Structure 1
């Protein structure tokens, strides 16, 4: 049977290639996700290890939040701690360092904004042995207050060389320096794409607002003293609130934080890979179903000469296993290339990844092989079982019987029941709101109903195409109606990808509508100032607000800051705002209490958080800040529009500043003075902030448009990731059509014999492909729209308050699907039109 299986595979090379390709793409996505994640993890491990090379112990402020260090939420220590550490026996060298916000401008005065990465400024150790991987590519270390060293990535991007002048924006304003050094981090040009401006220590402390402070102390042990021994000695000498840890521990924390982020990134990629594999399983199942139908006589002959049912089953499973094994091997190799492509894409958007060789872990190889083989074999089991039921007597027939179009009553009832239940669940989830679990379950049930009732839907679309249509459409429709199971399986492969795209489209459209509603309904400001970096990351110097407060054409200026704190052990967003101007620029939709009681020592609590905590006006809430620890506040009022302010907990700006070191504003809301010319005032404000090119000045309409553009960008990314699933679905259509042409060789020959032209045969095959694509598109759009509506309503607590269905986009998907059907049929249609008439009419 092994020899027979191998010969069967090699006898149909095109069929084999298309089937292998469908599985290979899915496996490539899975293996590529793992290779990219593992490679990035190894690269960051090497980078952090290199940066800590030469340092044995690090002294820092103690924090109750292990993720605070990664977010840069660190409480500075007094400079005197450095002297304390130096006096500890066994310390060979110790230097303090500081890090903070510093935005480098290019030669045209525009900000160098990496794609979401930090813009950092920091001190440079005088003792180079404490950071041996911090190497100079050109120049020297800064030694004067007017000197700076830039990271090689930034220097390369902006064209800076040693001796050039460069402007840098800090929290206090903008200063100009002379570039005296270009530095790298081992073999890497930057710290994961972040920009870095380095200064001598005292200058850095002054520029970053940390005069007399240090963020950490880097320590090297004397010969013969271990890092653990030195850590314990230093810990006994430190003041309260400071801690000593080994550099190995810090490297582990940094790597773990990065790996946690990469883990989420990998899970997202694997989710899309799962969609592709699911689509591929439909292709495999359909392929083997057609093969069994075409080889009934062949199987019957095997049974007639003594082959048992187990041998027939084993032979087909062997075929599936070989296909899966070949696909897994090709997918693993393709995954390495895909990982390199994804990495290049990250570099293109400014997220530089430290360079290292690709990591192909044993887990990646095992998973790729298991997925390739298991998916293929499982998808082939049902058709293989059908082959074992072929009776030996069928070998005596002169021709293979046509595929049965019969649809059992049980299948009809089960399909209708599942579709009804799934639809009802989605409707209920949309009505009740915040029902994520019910939405997922109902979508799954509805899709299962589509799979079960798919042949009925295929027959329905065939019936519709057959009514009053000319001969070409009628024949295409009857071909589908003759084998509705096959058509349904092919169409549903396309349904999966389109359903996800449509669900995301509806959610994205609802998000955009919610953004507009929140801004127009609760925002009373005329101008919104925010960082110009990607996705609004970074910050605005508080000096900007000071400039605006001195203008007569502005009636109110309110700074908004964001940070993280913990409530009952869970991390949450906390905002800081000015109390005097809050009600003039923002309507939070107060549910209880009043802004009159909002003062230092109190907070505003969103109704969602109030319900979760069981808190009301007058109650106390404890926030645990990474830098200052637990602080208790009294609830002054509760509010409904938490999406407007971006946090469920709102503090006064003074309370916020007492617990958070950073003084950067996340946004500044501005109200025009009465009678001010809006266009002229906006232009004047923009001109007044020319020294701060990282600040984007927008009115409400521009802000809404910009936020909606970010949503469209995310939608485009999701659609691009789902493109692979659509490609697999197209391969499925091509595969089905090729198999169908082979199966109907005699029929096509007879059509040509009775006068059908090659053009008519090609048109018939194309129309059959279009009908299958339309069936998949209509099912996918319908299911995706229903799931998208339910999903959007399920995210009501996350800020999606409005529902919007992008009808034109959904119709566009149907049109694109029809075009896909036409393109998929090009090869099979040409093959069908070239059938030799004399040979075809002699085929069994």
Structure 2
């Protein structure tokens, strides 16, 4: 054993370049693997833990209290497929105020117990209700840290009697924004309030949206057709909470897989090269008594001595990169837990790396172990006679410069090594093709969601914000001090040369049954079909009572095109028919309709923003400058919509893609470098002969670089379709993880010219990987090369 360890340690020290290559590729691939597995585990773990421990509801269903009785709803708990149920609970859409704070309207439920068969509430502060005059808040309703409400504070619901906050409790699926005692009639049944009833269900089959929808239909069969006001699936809540992290998992896993395969191939190449270069040494070792198994163990040990420390450092690096991303998941659940990568991820990566390193080293080493001492010494490190010579002779008869023809024939001398290097280049260029397409698609997603092409200019008029009024905004920088009226500003905008369309937009929060959190509704006045929302299916709204939904809202509610959706505030309810699905960026559900649908839901409507479309050929920058001058001293601001948009998640993803691409192309480049080093070392004597008969250092450099041209060209050409297929797989999976559907042009990002340029990246990568050893070969002296064995 001591002899094996000494042999392995000596080889690792003496073969410094190969050891450096193994160290780098193992470090980078293990870091990427930890990042991928960490995101995969961290994206689901917080929700899954909370949902399981608290018996979360598969469906939170809302009903109109005037159309279905509590007894009828209670009877649904015994329907086929229902394994557990809680409720019915009386609910009201309530606006909470107190201590100079106000929350958007949310669901307030009358509930006597926190520990129920479904949706067990986790009390993080204070205690549960003991009677009337008390209220328990969800963490989101309470607010963050020391700035929100806390136990002991007094709040009101819909300007009713003051209630004392006795606790903070969380529901895994956000079934309510707050809870009061069931007999708190001055809240739950206050005059004019929008009241309802809530049922919480767990089903025997609830693994998919289709199963959840079918189970809910079975449970509520026989109830009045118009009694249900809405429902929310736990899968939609899970999607919303996990969306920011889970959307990154597919492409990170793809990068990790590419890196892992590249690393294994490069290690195989390194060990195979070491075996070929060390045949004579192997023969001597066998003559001194090493067994075939000890020879294999020595090569495996050489790789492990370098690879295991590299893997441990890679695990640490992967953890450090994962923490900021996993922190987003913890913040989504309003927990105080520090983000962490499960220990099983570290153990899996380390164990997997050790196994792969041993297997990668054992393959070439077993061949060396089979040789007898005499055979190994006799074979030495010379290539087999005749291999690749016919290719060299054929190329020599062409008009190519002799250094180029010599170089192009080199890969055929060691075809197995060349094939492994082709695969390394192929995977490296595949990474580039995939990354370029993914970045282009993400950029198009941002542009489609922001609608900067259709709506290049936005005009903001400070004042009472939204339909609920509120704090008055300060004038934007650079504007005057004369208060502006929206109609006055609109007239100025419409009079400007280059104006094609103008519409006012009102944004508000409304409630939907089954969800404690409000959703965003955008109300346009007049024609808004030009505003540039990419349509996935259906059509734009045209008539009264119609609306267009974002993909997340459809997933969140389980609704489909043609279904009706009831939206409500503390003042009343409205029912709209969904006639189309539009692509909309952002992580929140959104509903788009005419502002007239807000009637009866808000005390006043005060839109503060205008969206402006321009005629063809109008320069947006010049238009904004001219409009700013026309607005004069009015407190209104015109700005380019592209400068007001923030896409933090997409920016993070593109940054991560660029980083991983650089790392993996570096790994592929190291694979090329290792191959060129092995080839030039085997041809040291031949290079000395060529130099002695007049080959210049520049020609030697050209010959060495040319040896990688065929490998780079083949790898690049094969990588283009592979990267294209990987992009076509990953993007829909990412969209599914985000809960959205994508317009068709988001995928169509590869033009023929771009594909041709990407194919040439294989040659570029091969040339860059060969530059360093080509320089070494060019600087070598002929006399020293001729003396080399």
Q: How does 1:412-451 map to 2 (within 5 A)?
A: none
| Counterpart Cα distance in 2 of 1:372 and 1:315 | 18
- 2:10 is equivalent to residue 10 of structure 1: no
Q: Please name the residue that 1:26 is paired with.
A: 29
- 2:387 is equivalent to residue 477 of structure 1: no
1:290 shift after superposition: 1.7
- Note closer, same or farther for the CA distance 1:793–1:632 as it changes in structure 2 (3 Å cut): same
- 2:105 is equivalent to residue 75 of structure 1: yes
- Note closer, same or farther for the CA distance 1:308–1:88 as it changes in structure 2 (3 Å cut): closer
- 2:297 is equivalent to residue 366 of structure 1: no
Q: How does 1:567-578 map to 2 (within 5 A)?
A: 576-578=522-524
- Note closer, same or farther for the CA distance 1:354–1:212 as it changes in structure 2 (3 Å cut): closer
- Note closer, same or farther for the CA distance 1:707–1:235 as it changes in structure 2 (3 Å cut): closer
| Counterpart Cα distance in 2 of 1:644 and 1:88 | 40
Q: Please name the residue that 2:375 is paired with.
A: 394
- Note closer, same or farther for the CA distance 1:791–1:631 as it changes in structure 2 (3 Å cut): same
1:725 shift after superposition: 0.4
**Among 776, 780, 799, the residue aligned to 2:719:** 780
| Counterpart Cα distance in 2 of 1:88 and 1:722 | 54
Note the alpha carbon deviations across 1:779-832, whole angstroms, 9 max, x for none.
Answer: 334533465578789989511337343455555556665555444334323433
1:320 shift after superposition: 3.2
1:473 shift after superposition: 1.0
Q: Please name the residue that 1:559 is paired with.
A: 505
SS of alignment partner, residue 718 of structure 1: helix
SS of alignment partner, residue 801 of structure 1: helix
Q: Please name the residue that 1:380 is paired with.
A: 361
Q: Please name the residue that 1:285 is paired with.
A: 268
Q: Please name the residue that 2:582 is paired with.
A: 642
- Note closer, same or farther for the CA distance 1:709–1:333 as it changes in structure 2 (3 Å cut): closer
Q: Which one has the bigger helix percentage? A: 1
Q: Please name the residue that 1:653 is paired with.
A: 595
Asked if structure 1 preserves the Cα contact closer than 8 Å seen for 2:137 and 2:179, the reply is no
| Counterpart Cα distance in 1 of 2:554 and 2:343 | 48
Q: Please name the residue that 1:161 is paired with.
A: none
Asked if structure 1 preserves the Cα contact closer than 8 Å seen for 2:403 and 2:699, the reply is yes
Q: Please name the residue that 1:737 is paired with.
A: 676
1:731 shift after superposition: 1.6
Q: How does 1:507-546 map to 2 (within 5 A)?
A: 509=440, 528-529=457-458
Q: Please name the residue that 2:745 is paired with.
A: 801
- Note closer, same or farther for the CA distance 1:367–1:662 as it changes in structure 2 (3 Å cut): farther
Note the alpha carbon deviations across 1:214-245, whole angstroms, 9 max, x for none.
Answer: 99974369xxxxxxxxx9995765844799xx
- Note closer, same or farther for the CA distance 1:290–1:694 as it changes in structure 2 (3 Å cut): farther
Q: Which stretches in structure 2 are left out of the alignment for 5+ residues?
A: 47-89, 95-101, 112-125, 169-177, 189-194, 198-236, 470-483
Q: Please name the residue that 1:172 is paired with.
A: none
**Among 392, 414, 417, the residue aligned to 1:486:** 417
- Note closer, same or farther for the CA distance 1:778–1:234 as it changes in structure 2 (3 Å cut): same
SS of alignment partner, residue 402 of structure 1: coil
**Among 698, 702, 710, the residue aligned to 1:763:** 702
- Note closer, same or farther for the CA distance 1:599–1:738 as it changes in structure 2 (3 Å cut): same
1:772 shift after superposition: 3.9
Asked if structure 2 preserves the Cα contact closer than 8 Å seen for 1:27 and 1:328, the reply is yes
Q: Please name the residue that 1:748 is paired with.
A: 687
Note the alpha carbon deviations across 1:732-768, whole angstroms, 9 max, x for none.
Answer: 2222222223323332333334443444333322333
- Note closer, same or farther for the CA distance 1:362–1:583 as it changes in structure 2 (3 Å cut): closer
- Note closer, same or farther for the CA distance 1:797–1:759 as it changes in structure 2 (3 Å cut): same
SS of alignment partner, residue 503 of structure 2: strand
SS of alignment partner, residue 564 of structure 2: strand
SS of alignment partner, residue 529 of structure 1: strand
Asked if structure 2 preserves the Cα contact closer than 8 Å seen for 1:491 and 1:772, the reply is yes
Of 626-635 and 650-659, more deviation after overlay is shown by 626-635
Asked if structure 1 preserves the Cα contact closer than 8 Å seen for 2:533 and 2:583, the reply is no
- Note closer, same or farther for the CA distance 1:669–1:735 as it changes in structure 2 (3 Å cut): same
1:724 shift after superposition: 0.6
1:99 shift after superposition: 9.3
Asked if structure 1 preserves the Cα contact closer than 8 Å seen for 2:550 and 2:582, the reply is yes
| Counterpart Cα distance in 1 of 2:45 and 2:357 | 32
| Counterpart Cα distance in 2 of 1:690 and 1:556 | 21
1:665 shift after superposition: 7.9
Of 356-365 and 779-788, more deviation after overlay is shown by 356-365
- 2:774 is equivalent to residue 829 of structure 1: yes
Pairs aligned (count): 629
- Note closer, same or farther for the CA distance 1:817–1:584 as it changes in structure 2 (3 Å cut): closer
**Among 700, 725, 729, the residue aligned to 2:664:** 725
| Counterpart Cα distance in 2 of 1:594 and 1:291 | 66
- 2:407 is equivalent to residue 468 of structure 1: no
Q: Please name the residue that 2:311 is paired with.
A: 328
Q: How does 1:239-278 map to 2 (within 5 A)?
A: 239-240=187-188, 261-262=244-245, 265=248, 269=252, 271-278=254-261
| Counterpart Cα distance in 2 of 1:460 and 1:659 | 82
- Note closer, same or farther for the CA distance 1:826–1:372 as it changes in structure 2 (3 Å cut): same
SS of alignment partner, residue 269 of structure 2: helix
| Counterpart Cα distance in 1 of 2:398 and 2:248 | 50
SS of alignment partner, residue 750 of structure 2: coil
Q: Please name the residue that 1:499 is paired with.
A: 430
Note the alpha carbon deviations across 1:395-443, whole angstroms, 9 max, x for none.
Answer: 3526434169979xxxxxxxxxxxxxxxxxxxxxxxxxxxxxxxxxxxx
Note the alpha carbon deviations across 1:660-690, whole angstroms, 9 max, x for none.
Answer: 99999898544689xx999769833786499
Note the alpha carbon deviations across 1:21-48, whole angstroms, 9 max, x for none.
Answer: 11112223444678899999999xxxxx
TM-score w.r.t. length of structure 1: 0.55
| Counterpart Cα distance in 1 of 2:443 and 2:573 | 37
Q: Please name the residue that 1:173 is paired with.
A: none
- Note closer, same or farther for the CA distance 1:381–1:620 as it changes in structure 2 (3 Å cut): same
| Counterpart Cα distance in 2 of 1:257 and 1:526 | 27
Q: Please name the residue that 1:219 is paired with.
A: 166
Note the alpha carbon deviations across 1:506-534, whole angstroms, 9 max, x for none.
Answer: 455567779999999x99x77653899xx
| Counterpart Cα distance in 2 of 1:747 and 1:612 | 70
TM-score w.r.t. length of structure 2: 0.59
Of 756-765 and 579-588, more deviation after overlay is shown by 579-588
- Note closer, same or farther for the CA distance 1:478–1:588 as it changes in structure 2 (3 Å cut): closer
1:294 shift after superposition: 2.4
SS of alignment partner, residue 383 of structure 2: coil
Query: Aligned-residue CA RMSD in angstroms?
Result: 6.7
Note the alpha carbon deviations across 1:706-744, whole angstroms, 9 max, x for none.
Answer: 899998996565233311101111222222222223323
- 2:522 is equivalent to residue 582 of structure 1: no
